């Protein structure tokens, strides 16, 4: 029975998520309104998108052992390319979305082929340099295309009517859920494939892969391009949810946030990056509300100042999880089972009385 539940619980959770827009269940403290309200669905959809982004990023970090500091560049490429295709080229949403994902894949292929020529910290620095160049390009607003610090809004006239307006938030939520399912399916399929097993070998010992006669460069490039394409698709969904493209999507802080999500949930695990992405995104929004609340405002200055900074609260949460839960939240059930097993072994056996003998 337990094995049956372990196998089918994701299906049950997916069914609950699919029906969430029809629910009026209040979740005080977790959400501002009922579960199916537009504001709640918007927040949950963002959590799902960033959970999927973290899962895709873990193809590099947790599955292949590649620490990239430029993953947000491909997310921003899908976001901006889709928006500009509608604004400047007059394309409809679907052709523009395909164009945006294709741009992310092409850029990942180009920059990955260069970045992967070096390994270790050199690879990380090269990806960071490319990401910084992309962020500066967006900020400089060449030809008025990116909108600079203000960004550019998505043209409502090029979007389907079913995706415009607060009344259609449920449709956007379902798109975010579909993106999550697609990302998890791609990650599971690739990790379980022969290529995925080579990725695991590269993560553990790249030199051993070379001794076996395989060329790690090509396999790492595949991981880089697949992760970049998934990030680009996430940019398209994010454009729908937020209604525009902003330079924060291209910043190195966005990649650092993905790194924190993966480590928080558990790098290299099946559900850890998803859990970390959902928790981090939810906390970023809810702790911001807490920081500006009257409860914090009435505290003494020595407490009010740090608690009024959401990043301080997020940082404290991250440090606590890393310190108390090595391996991330995904390893918590195993650690609890191990703790119970140890306590069971430590319980002394009841003495046998003479009469019982």
User: pTM for this one?
Assistant: 0.89
- What's the chain's Rg over C-alpha atoms? 23
* 106 assigned to some structural domain: yes
* 262 assigned to some structural domain: yes
CA–CA separation, 49 and 177 (whole Å): 8
Question: What integer is the mean pLDDT of 76-88?
Answer: 94
* 353 assigned to some structural domain: no
- Name the residue range of residue 145's domain: 34-344
CA–CA separation, 51 and 255 (whole Å): 13
pLDDT at residue 27, rounded to an integer: 84
Token pair for 244 = 């525009």
In total, how many domains does the chain have?
A: 1
* 42 assigned to some structural domain: yes
Binned at pLDDT 50, 70 and 90, residue 1 comes out as: very low
CA–CA separation, 220 and 119 (whole Å): 11
Question: What integer is the mean pLDDT of 254-264?
Answer: 88
* 100 assigned to some structural domain: yes
CATH assignment of the domain containing 78: 1.10.3470
pLDDT at residue 333, rounded to an integer: 76
* 219 assigned to some structural domain: yes
CA–CA separation, 355 and 273 (whole Å): 58
Q: CA dist 213 to 194, 223, 353, Å?
A: 15, 19, 67
Higher pLDDT, 340 or 227: 227
pLDDT at residue 353, rounded to an integer: 54
Higher pLDDT, 303 or 142: 142
* 112 assigned to some structural domain: yes
* 91 assigned to some structural domain: yes
pLDDT at residue 357, rounded to an integer: 40
Binned at pLDDT 50, 70 and 90, residue 227 comes out as: very high
Q: What is the DSSP string of 30-87?
A: TBSSBTTSHHHHHHHHHHHHHHHHHHHHHHHHTTT----S-THHHHHHHHHHHHHHHH
According to DSSP, residue 139 is labeled: H
Higher pLDDT, 198 or 298: 198
pLDDT at residue 345, rounded to an integer: 66
Instruction: Inform me whether the pLDDT recorded for 4 exceeds 70.
Output: no
The sign of the torsion formed by the CA atoms of 208, 214, 219, 220 equals positive
Question: What integer is the mean pLDDT of 183-193?
Answer: 95
Instruction: Inform me whether the pLDDT recorded for 191 exceeds 80.
Output: yes
Q: CA dist 285 to 17, 47, 72, 136, 148, Å?
A: 20, 10, 20, 26, 24
């Amino acid at each position: 029975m337990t094995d049956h539940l372990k196998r089918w619980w994701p299906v049950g959770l997916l069914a609950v998520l699919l029906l969430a827009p029809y629910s009026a269940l209040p979740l005080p403290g977790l959400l501002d309104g009922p579960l199916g309200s537009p504001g709640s669905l918007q927040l949950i959809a963002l959590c799902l998108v960033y959970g999927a982004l973290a899962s895709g990023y873990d193809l590099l970090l947790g599955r292949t052992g590649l620490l990239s500091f430029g993953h947000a560049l491909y997310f921003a490429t899908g976001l901006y390319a889709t928006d500009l295709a509608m604004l400047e080229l007059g394309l409809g949403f679907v052709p523009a979305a395909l164009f945006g994902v294709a741009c992310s894949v092409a850029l990942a292929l180009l920059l990955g082929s260069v970045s992967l020529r070096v390994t270790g910290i050199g690879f990380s620095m090269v990806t960071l340099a490319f990401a910084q160049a992309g962020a500066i390009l967006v900020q400089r607003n060449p030809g008025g295309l990116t909108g600079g610090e203000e960004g550019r809004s998505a043209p409502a006239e090029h979007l389907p009517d079913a995706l415009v307006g607060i009344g259609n938030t449920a449709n956007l939520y379902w798109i975010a859920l579909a993106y999550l399912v697609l990302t998890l399916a791609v990650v599971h399929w690739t990790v379980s494939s022969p290529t995925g097993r080579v990725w695991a070998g590269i993560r553990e010992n790249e030199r051993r892969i070379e001794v076996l006669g395989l060329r790690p460069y090509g396999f790492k490039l595949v991981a880089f391009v697949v992760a970049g394409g998934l990030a680009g698709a996430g940019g398209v969904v994010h454009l729908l949810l937020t209604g525009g493209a902003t330079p924060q999507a291209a910043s190195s802080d966005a990649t650092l946030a993905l790194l924190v999500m993966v480590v928080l949930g558990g790098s290299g695990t099946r559900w850890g990056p998803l859990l970390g992405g959902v928790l981090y995104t939810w906390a970023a929004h809810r702790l911001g509300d807490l920081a500006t609340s009257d409860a914090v405002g009435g505290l003494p200055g020595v407490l009010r100042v740090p608690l009024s900074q959401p990043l301080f609260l997020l940082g404290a949460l991250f440090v606590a999880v890393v310190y108390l839960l090595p391996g991330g939240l995904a390893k918590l059930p195993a650690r609890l089972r191990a703790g119970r097993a140890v306590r069971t072994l430590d319980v002394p056996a009841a003495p046998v009385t003479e009469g019982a003998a």
